[in-house]
Structure 1
Amino acid sequence: MKASIGLETPRPLSEPCSVECPLDCRISSWTSWSSCSRTCGLTGMMKRSRRVLRAARGFGRPCPSQLQQSKPCTPMPCYHLQLGDWSSCQLNGGDCGEGGSVRELTCLSHNGSGDDPVKKVEQSLCEEVPWREVMGALGEEGRQPELKKSCIVSCPGNTFSL
C-alpha cells in the first residue's frame, strides 16, 4: 500500500559489514651472534637476525623495522711471521772455507688497520700461525722455513774452471 501512494519502503538503519580483527605482528627471537668476520684486528663485526613470523593486520601492532643487528668484535691483535734475509757467510775461524749462514723468523703484531705500527713480540705468540702464511711467497708452502744453511767462502788463489 505504501508503494501505491508513492512512499518508499523504509531502509534499515544499520547494515551488516565485515571488520577485520586486529592481529599483532609476530617475530622470531634473535639468532645467536655470528662468529667474528675477521680473526684479528679492529674491524671485525658480528651479526644476528630475526624474522617476521606473521605480519600485522588491521590495527594490530606493526612489525619492528630492525630485523638485523651488528656489533664490533672484541679487538684481537694480529700476529704474523716474517722471515728475514740470509746473513753473510760466517766462518768458524779463518778467512775462507766452509761456514754457515742464518736468518731469523720474527713474530710481529699489529691491529689489522694498516695504521698501527708493526711490533716485534714474543715468538710464542706466533705458534698458531700456519707456515704457509710465511712461506707462500717463497714457493715453500707448508714447510717449516730453513733458518741455517751451509756456505763456502772461496780462498784467494783458488780458481775453478768448468
Structure 2
Amino acid sequence: MLKAQLDLSVPCPETQDFQPCMGPGCSDEDGSTCMMSEWITWSPCSVSCGMGMRSRERYVKQFPDDGSMCKVPTEETEKCIVNEECSPSSCLVTEWGEWDECSASCGMGMKKRHRMIKMTPADGSMCKAEITEAEKCMMPECHTIPCMLSPWSEWSDCSVTCGKGMRTRQRILKSAAELGDCNEELEQVEKCMLPECPIDCELTEWSQWSECNKSCGKGHMIRTRMIEMEPQFGGAPCPETVQRKKCRIRKCLRNPNVEKRRWKEPREKRRSEQTKEDIDGEQFPGCKMKPWTAWSECTKLCGGGIQERFMTVKKRFKSTQITSCKDKKELRACNVHPC
C-alpha cells in the first residue's frame, strides 16, 4: 500500500505482488488439470443400527486443456456408526446433525449438535440415548478484560437427610468484563448420596377374633395379623402379631349330688383317685376327660394359620343333665411370618 510519495521525480515501486495458488481439485502436473467442485454433503448412513457406510460426491467443473480424462476421484466413502447397541433395550436414533455456531464470538465457548429418536426400545424400557452433545470451541482471542470471579463456595448440605439428593455451590461476579457480557456460570449442582432411608415394619389389618376356646366358663380367643414388610436400615421394629383376650360364654353347671358324694368319701380314697385322674386325664364336675391331644398341623405354611387340639369325655357319671361334660377344643395362631 502506498502511504506517501515524497519525491515525484522518483517512481514508486510496485504496490502489488502475485504468487501462484491452486484451487480445490487442481493439479500442476502436465497441464492436465481437472477443475473440481467442493465435496457435496455426506449421504445418510446405509444402516439404521450398527456400522454401515456413507458417501459423498463432487463433479468436474472444467476438464484438462489437453483433452485428457480426469483421474481425480469424484466419489469417496467412509464407515459410519449409528446406534452402537442394537439390542431390544436400545433406542434407534438418527445421525448427529451439524454443529451449531460457537456460543462465544471470541475466546472459549461451547457448541452443540442434536439428533432425534427414531424408535423407542422394543422391550418398553426407557430410552437412555443422548440426543444433545456439546463440546468446547475456540474463537479468536478476545480483546477484553476477563471476568473477575470469587472462588467457589463450599458445597451445601445434601438436600435430603437420607437417600439420593442434590447439593449446590456458588461464586459471585466481583467485576464485570469491560466489553461484552460475562457468561461464566455462577452456580453448580451435583448429585449426593446419603445412607439409605429407614423402612418401618408394615403389617396387615387384624384378622377377626377366633371363637372362644371353651364352651362354658372362662376361656380366651385370639386374632392375628401378618408382616408385609420387615424393617430395614434401622426402621421401626414389628409390634405383636398375635393378641389374646378373655371370653366367657356362660357359667358351667355343677351337679350338687355329685359334689356332695365326693366330699363324703374318705380322704385317702379321694387322694388315690386324684392321683389316678392326674394320669388318665382331667376331672370335671359330672365327668372325667381324656388328656389334651397334640396340637394339629398348622392350616397354613405362612401368612398366619390356626392350630387346634381337643379334650374328649372319657367317662360320664350317672347323674343326669350335666351340661359341663362336653368335648372341648382350643385354638392358637401359628406360622404368622409373611409368605
Give your verdict on TM over 0.5.
no
- Give the TM-score normalised by structure 2: 0.24
Question: Which fold has the larger relative contact order, with Cα–Cα distance below 8 Å and residues 6 or more apart in sequence?
Answer: 1
Greater Cα radius of gyration, structure 1 or 2: 2
